[in-house]
Structure 1
Amino acid sequence: MTALGVVFRPQLPPERLRDVARAADAAGLEELWLWEDCFLESGIAAMAAALAWTERLRVGVGLLPVPFRNAALTSMETATLHRLFPGRAKLAVGHGVQDWMAQVGARAESPMTLLTEHLSAMRALLRGERVTTQGRYVRLDGVALDWPPKEGAAVYVGATGPRTLRLAGAAADGTILTAGRTPDEVRRARELIEEGRTEAGRTGPHEVVAYFNAATGPGADARIEAELAASGDAGKTEAGVAGDAGAVAEAVRRIADAGADTVILQPTADEPDVEGFVRFVAGEVRPLVA
């Protein structure tokens, strides 16, 4: 069955997160996803708070930009969250927006090399291994976590371009696709992920999580149109949906049929009732999505 969730956008003030997370938990929504965009809200701090405020909700961060982070520290934070909230934390790493990385003095000359090294070290540390590596960017000397996750921890990659999608398939446990993709683009992304998996000889599960723009209620069509225009996706009518539960569910099914295992509905930046949107997705859309 396709898993379903909602994005809590960091353009909302942090103090709104508790009410939205609790509304999602009470409504039976499966997942709530956060961003770590510069310079809005911390992904790790927001995730820890959302998990602590809820009982069963899975919470994801898509994504943590690796130029910002040391691989050992990211692994420590990930392991701690998995031990505190088993089975409920989902973390993705990625390149980050390069202009923002330059703005904080962290832009890498080779983002692909950095992400590859970070992923390799992080996944080994989370498996409980002692890691020594002297890469171009990631350097660890006999590092091991004292408290690795008891049952392992999946590491996701946020990917856009072909090279990163192939890397996600080859070296990560799952992939996050940003909003603005049509079903055909999701299908192509899945193909690239599978190419990476095949080249690396990987045969285990690989979850694809796709964000998707959605709006309902008064002015929904205009809000989706403005959202797509603002993100450079004007004219891509299949990159978002506006309408009632039936229309949204049908769009979710198209994205799932294209290769997404989990669909995370992203409200517009001007969504007037985020808690209401969460309840709409959980109570009205979810029953219509097989």
Structure 2
Amino acid sequence: MDRWGMTIPFFGQTPVESKELVAELPALGYTDAWSAEVGGTDGFVPLALAAEWAPSLRLGTAIVPVYTRGPALLAMSAATLADLAPGRFVLGIGASSPVIVGNWNAGEFDKPYARVRDTLRFLRAALAGEKVTESYETFAVKGFRLEKAPATPPKIVLAALRPGMLRLAAREADGAITNWLSPGDVRKVRGELGPETELIARLFVVVTEDAAKAREIGRRLLAAYLTVPVYAAFHEWLGRGELLRPMREAWAAGDRKAALKAIPDEVVDDLVVHGDAATCRARVREYVAAGLDTPVLAPLPGGDLPLADTVRALAPGA
């Protein structure tokens, strides 16, 4: 089954405001709905609503951080969604970033690889209904058992940008989630992940034939993301280090305008899907042809069409 996902809730809407369009997604040909968790809605509530509104969709978190909830609470939230959408919920977890974990949530962003690995191992046991008493490298749990383990434990996928985490996903998880990459980059990521493990990626889309406008929208997001150390390291690995160095230097110096201007058009065109709807759909299929299993579209505001029309126009059968 070819997968074609959408990010929910939609940009600029609350989960409830997204109800009618979410309910329409399966008829449009979408197979998946994936949430995010940064500074807006949490990762679970939009999916709990979508479980009722669109009962055929596969639902996933992309991603919830492993530092911002205790291990037991994370297991409880995942078990709740797994019961609401039996066999259709995928738990995506990841390290997130020092800003989200430390600056916003008063946590300590320490040993991210080990914390993700330990959380994955704990969740495997807890969601299977086991009583967990274990000292992991990054935390310890004593005597926790879910009151009601889900009948079908959810698959667990990892946010993974570089070889170490990609290999962990291949060894111990059910898939990997990535973003801000080109179709060509998918091949490099797939090379580390292997051919059998599901690869999911959020793809940011601007439906407009005005390339200059699309690049302006894309640059604002790229500057915010690619200056974060984990994404900077990701693009060093992908081979864009020198292309992005002027942007990073300007950003570090506090010159936001210069940082935006320093992002080359070719980088924006590589990492942001833009053009008319047919061009965008064709570009998404380039990712799939390169080895992406599940594209998760994230339509950005500022394109030529209203939101609902954009979602319909990006549908696989449009």
Task: With the length of structure 2 as denominator, give the TM-score of the two structures.
Answer: 0.78
Structure 1 residue 191, shift from structure 2 partner: 1.5
Structure 1 residue 26, shift from structure 2 partner: 4.4
Equivalent position amino acid for 2:141 in 1: L
Structure 1 residue 47, shift from structure 2 partner: 1.5
Structure 1 residue 223, shift from structure 2 partner: 4.1
In the alignment, the residues of structure 1 paired with residue 198 and residue 218 of structure 2 have an alpha-carbon distance, to the nearest angstrom, of: 26
1:137 corresponds to which residue? 138
2:64 corresponds to which residue? 64
1:202 corresponds to which residue? none
Alignment of 1:1-290 (within 5 A): 1-8=1-8, 11-14=11-14, 15-37=16-38, 39-103=39-103, 104-178=105-179, 180-194=180-194, 205-217=196-208, 219=210, 221-230=211-220, 231-232=222-223, 234=263, 235-236=266-267, 237-271=269-303, 273-282=306-315, 286-287=316-317
Gaps of 5+ in 1: 198-204
Q: Deviations over 1:190-236 (max 9, x none)?
A: 12223xx9xxxxxxx521111222232464x3343123312147432
Alpha-carbon distance change, 19 to 266 in structure 1, aligned in 2, over 3 angstroms: same
Alpha-carbon distance change, 269 to 47 in structure 1, aligned in 2, over 3 angstroms: same
Confirm or deny: 8 A CA contact 2:92 2:159 kept in the other structure. Answer: yes
Q: Deviations over 1:112-158 (max 9, x none)?
A: 11111111101122223222211233322232223222233100111
In the alignment, the residues of structure 1 paired with residue 63 and residue 20 of structure 2 have an alpha-carbon distance, to the nearest angstrom, of: 22
In the alignment, the residues of structure 1 paired with residue 10 and residue 121 of structure 2 have an alpha-carbon distance, to the nearest angstrom, of: 29
Task: With the length of structure 1 as denominator, give the TM-score of the two structures.
Answer: 0.84
Confirm or deny: 8 A CA contact 1:9 1:269 kept in the other structure. Answer: no
In the alignment, the residues of structure 2 paired with residue 27 and residue 259 of structure 1 have an alpha-carbon distance, to the nearest angstrom, of: 23
Equivalent position amino acid for 1:171 in 2: E
Q: Deviations over 1:225-252 (max 9, x none)?
A: 1233121474322323323443223212
Structure 1 residue 11, shift from structure 2 partner: 5.0
Equivalent position amino acid for 2:314 in 1: V
Q: Deviations over 1:3-29 (max 9, x none)?
A: 111223675242433233123244342
In the alignment, the residues of structure 1 paired with residue 128 and residue 274 of structure 2 have an alpha-carbon distance, to the nearest angstrom, of: 42
1:201 corresponds to which residue? none
Confirm or deny: 8 A CA contact 1:155 1:174 kept in the other structure. Answer: yes
Confirm or deny: 8 A CA contact 2:55 2:85 kept in the other structure. Answer: no
Structure 1 residue 31, shift from structure 2 partner: 1.5
Alpha-carbon distance change, 46 to 127 in structure 1, aligned in 2, over 3 angstroms: same
Q: Which is greater in Rg?
A: 2
Confirm or deny: 8 A CA contact 1:215 1:224 kept in the other structure. Answer: yes
In the alignment, the residues of structure 1 paired with residue 87 and residue 215 of structure 2 have an alpha-carbon distance, to the nearest angstrom, of: 36
Q: Deviations over 1:31-81 (max 9, x none)?
A: 1221100x2111112221222222322222200011101122111211221
Confirm or deny: 8 A CA contact 1:6 1:265 kept in the other structure. Answer: yes
Equivalent position amino acid for 1:53 in 2: W
In the alignment, the residues of structure 1 paired with residue 147 and residue 102 of structure 2 have an alpha-carbon distance, to the nearest angstrom, of: 33
Equivalent position amino acid for 1:20 in 2: L
Equivalent position amino acid for 1:260 in 2: L
CA RMSD of aligned residues (A): 2.3
Confirm or deny: 8 A CA contact 2:4 2:29 kept in the other structure. Answer: no
Secondary structure class of the residue paired with 2:30? coil
